[in-house]
Structure 1
């Protein structure tokens, strides 16, 4: 396997472990419609009463998101090289965005089932393991069920990862311009942490409404199943208000219902907690990625030098 594969895999898995508690709050805010949800993230913090609650729904993301992140970085690096060679241009922000979008689209095969299992595990009450949700989905819906909500997930990932790499490279260039002097470990580390954190925030800000729709699409109950969070839990699924039907709603229908429920504000519910999580997770994730690439002989300086040569 290539260096960017392993660097992407390990950094993605570490990112999930760091960000899962805040991601759980984000998902429940997005999918819920009751009064408790409208009170904000503080109403959900009380759910973390045990160590196990901090890692709810992490099994699928650690395996899936590690693979997703590996596929993302490999696809991005190959797509950027191909674009620059095809158009005979040097590395630039436009090719960076296009390569990021291509890399994001390539992750669809992994990200859709990973997101679906993760969201359902985080919304389940009483708690259920990712494996039990996977088995039930396969039993009741087949393999196709794991890819429910795939179109909106692919669109979210393509747009989001375009801005992800674009922002990271832009921030790196900005820091290099305004911070003069010899390079040092402290400066390089600060640059990576800042650029990675801002890239994460910019990504989620650009696609958060799509993520809200994706979450609501994927947490719909199948046929006559009960809601993922019942009346005894802190929240109830947004689909409890839907008329009984054997056919779940698509992304456009879900978006219309969400707008009727709370206007434009509903599409940004949970953005604050998500932005905090995004900065922390992506700062660490990029730091781990760059460090591993350096240790494997493919650090940023080596990559830039090979491009020049």
Structure 2
């Protein structure tokens, strides 16, 4: 027989629409955008890294005399691009998540910079890379498939347009 697990508290939200309505009611419109500055900083740099590294790796992995890599090259370039993008994105992703989870009323963080400084002071610089290994383990296979599909759609649309 398994030992009894401690009772879990009731979830605060019953679903996405209830979450939206509750946050809007309790925190106002501003609450719906909590963490968005960190999100913008995360995505700008990570998408630039994502597509630039994919293009460079594709060029590097293309066989001599070919402008595009074979499927294996696309798989490797896509996987590596996903990992590199998450390596760049993870620090701001950690900050974004902390800002979004910061409760209403007695808030712990005053903003993005305060959250970053407080987190590093209390937990050390490694805190900014929490979840990186898991993100990379997920990113490699996912982005292998994403870029194979991307290249297939590009080839298909080029064929339709010419």
Aligned match of 1:148 = 34
Structure 1 gaps of 5+ residues are 1-123, 224-244
- RMSD (CA atoms): 2.9
The partner residue of 1:222 within 83, 86, 104 is 104
TM-score by length of 2: 0.80
Alignment of 1:1-309 (within 5 A): 126=11, 128-176=14-62, 179-180=63-64, 188-223=70-105, 245=106, 249-295=110-156, 297-298=157-158
* Distance in 1 (alpha carbons) for counterparts of 2:29 and 2:150: 32
Runs of 4+ in 1 over 6 A off after TM superposition: 181-184
TM-score by length of 1: 0.44
Q: How many residues align?
A: 153
Larger Rg belongs to: 2
Contact 1:196 1:285 in 2 (8 A): yes
Structure 2 gaps of 5+ residues are 1-8
Give the direction of change, closer, same or farther, for the CA distance of 1:189–1:143 in structure 2 (3 Å limit): farther
Give the direction of change, closer, same or farther, for the CA distance of 1:182–1:168 in structure 2 (3 Å limit): closer
* Distance in 2 (alpha carbons) for counterparts of 1:250 and 1:128: 28
